[in-house]
Structure 1
Amino acid sequence: MGSEAEELPVGHFDAGIVVRTSEQLGEAVRARRKALGLTQLDIAGMGNTGNRFIVELEKGKPTLQLQKVLSMLDLLGLEVVVRPKTGAST
């Protein structure tokens, strides 16, 4: 899927989004998809998945398969970065 993500237009996306809930992740995915001018059906087809998965992802369904979610993020040119919380004690 990495090569498909490179073919998408870049679009503007705030690199500073912190996601702590599945709903916030869904909102970020929806914003990126819309910034790219794509429909849910477009992404489903490009990601070889069903439209229902995309709808559930954008709604923040917490029980989606992690690898499928990561694959969709990659397709949209997004990535997950794991780091200590700002101000967290070590």
Structure 2
Amino acid sequence: MVIRQRRKTLRWDQAQLAERVGVSRQWVIEMEKGKPRAELQLVLRTLNVLGLVLTVGNVEGESSVADSSEMPLVLPDIDTIVDGNRLYPDERRKAVVPIDGRNRSKDL
């Protein structure tokens, strides 16, 4: 229901959403009808394309492991981590490598 409402708010038809997500129009139709066995990866991709955020909470009446007054969990940005560890062609790392029995730095 939320997916259909958001799609209509964006004035997209099912074919436009399907193209943006990379699925068939039939998949969008089934998803909007509440397909019970939809692949999670595709559902998450659909939510992302629509600009929707998925949140997780407790069922009413269940006690929470964490106190609600605690700070919210901050998740790391995986893209920042990967970019920070990527070697670019113009960058060089130096390592200490034994050469002739002595430790000297050498370009890798």
Give the TM-score normalised by the residue count of structure 2: 0.55
Moved over 6 A (4+): none
Task: Work out which structure has the larger RCO, using CA pairs closer than 8 Å and 6 or more positions apart in sequence.
Answer: 1
Aligned to 2:38: 64
Identify the structure with the greater helix proportion: 1
Task: Write out per-residue CA displacement over residues 1-53 of structure 1, whole angstroms, 9 at most, x where no aligned residue.
Answer: xxxxxxxxxxxxxxxxxxxxxxxxxx010000001111000001111210011
Q: Percent identity?
A: 38
Counterpart CA distance in 1 for 2:7 and 2:62 is 32
**Unmatched runs of 5 consecutive residues or more in structure 1:** 1-26
Counterpart CA distance in 1 for 2:10 and 2:18 is 14
Q: Does 1:80 align with 2:60?
A: no
Identify the structure with the greater strand proportion: 2
| Residue 80 of structure 1: how far off its partner (Å) | 1.0
| Residue 87 of structure 1: how far off its partner (Å) | 4.2
Counterpart CA distance in 1 for 2:30 and 2:53 is 19
What is the aligned residue count? 64
Give the TM-score normalised by the residue count of structure 1: 0.65
Aligned to 1:37: 11
Aligned to 1:13: none
